[in-house]
Amino acid sequence: MALVMGILAYVVEEVKFQILGSEAYSLIFGPIVLLILYYINCRQIFEYDSDGEAIHLRNRSILPFIKPLSDEFPKYKFLKFETFRFLFFKRLYITVKGKSGNTILKYEVSYLTDKELNDLKFSLNKVIKNNKENIHNE
C-alpha cells in the first residue's frame, strides 16, 4: 500500500506541483526499500511446541503467498541451537541429527519479544539437558 501511495504521490508531484525536483524519486524508492526489508524479514509468526516426544517448529507469514516453514522431529535428534541478532533481525539456528549428517534449520524470530525468546531458549536448553541425561544413563 505504501508503494502504491508513493507512486501516486510521485505522479502528482511530477504532473502538478513540481516542488521536489530530482528528490521526487525518493517517493518511489523509499517504499521499495521498506518492501525489500519486509520481504527479508517476512515470516512474522513463529510457533514452537515441545510437548510429547517431538519438537514442532513453524514459521509463517501473514501474507498467503509466502510458503510457511514447518519442521517436526523427535527430541532425541535435537543437538544444539544458536540465536543470531543483527540490528532488528533475529534468527534461530537449530542443529538436528540426521542419517547423512547434521542438518541446520533456520527460523525467523525477529517478531518475538525478549521474554518470548528467553522462554524459547529455556525450553530448548531443557530438551538438550534431557537428551544429555538420557545418553548418559544408557
What's the chain's Rg over C-alpha atoms? 22
Grade residue 13 by pLDDT with cuts at 50, 70 and 90: confident
pLDDT in tens, 59-111: 988 777 778 889 999 999 999 999 999 887 889 999 999 888 899 999 989 88
> Which contiguous run of DSSP H or E holds residue 45?
strand 45-49
Question: First and final CA of the chain: distance in angstroms?
Answer: 58
pLDDT in tens, 14-54: 777 777 777 777 777 888 887 777 776 677 788 999 888 99
Predicted TM-score (pTM) of this structure: 0.72
The pLDDT, as a whole number, for residue 55 is 94
